Amino acid sequence: MPVTVNPGWGPEAQYLAALGLGSGYQNPAQNYQASMYQPYRDIWSGMQPINAATGFTTPGWEDYIQNPATHGMGGIQNQAQTSLLRLLNMTAAKRTEEGFNFEPQYDPLTGQPVTGVGNLGQGTLQDLIQYGGASRFGPMGSSWLAGRLPQIQRNWQQGQAGLAADVPPTSFLDYLRARYGL
């Protein structure tokens, strides 16, 4: 039976209430569950624009935290894997149209990278790979791949710059998928 969550509470308090955790003593397992709030919230936030672009709905925060299938590391990994697959299964043109290409853009006046490009940032992609790739690479492998994402992106950029004029460029996500088997 779902726990009543006060809509006036902040998201973390709502999350803890949905798990049945109060503000008193918590055993180690309850501490672990409580520590999952940030990745849980990050994955839910990243799911929203991906689901909207692919025709799926994302439940509201209160409904999402009431679903026991989304709780714990397994729930986080399943939700991230689903979102990552939906993202990768979009065509490169659709991802670009939605702002999901994760390719750096530069300010034409300063030449500096523009941060926060598109609807999702690189941090969201790292979360999706870290948690969504765990079933394929294991937790350590997916964490390693997510942590190396900035370096992988630099390598991809250098490779794109060296392409012959008659070779079509590859999107960053298509490169990731082919290179790392996502």
Domain borders along the chain are 11-180
| Cα–Cα dist 164/84, whole Å | 31
Contact 34, 19 (CB under 8 A): yes
* Closest C-alpha to 34, from 47, 21, 49: 21
Residue length of the chain: 182
| 182 residues of the chain, pLDDT tens digit each | 455 667 677 788 888 877 777 766 678 878 887 888 888 888 888 888 899 999 998 888 888 888 777 777 888 899 999 999 999 999 888 888 888 877 766 667 776 666 544 556 778 888 999 999 998 899 899 999 999 988 888 888 888 777 666 667 788 888 888 888 88
Written as one letter, the residue type at 39 is P
Tell me the Cα Rg of the chain.
19
| Cα–Cα dist 176/22, whole Å | 42
Burial 109-142 (b: 16+ CB within 10 A, else e): eeeeeeeebbebebebbbbbbbbbbbeebeeeeb
Structural tokens at position 1? 């039976």
| Other Cβ atoms closer than 10 A to 50 | 24
Structural tokens at position 92? 């490169």
Structural tokens at position 109? 């006046």
State pTM to two decimals. Answer: 0.80
Structural tokens at position 104? 């750096």
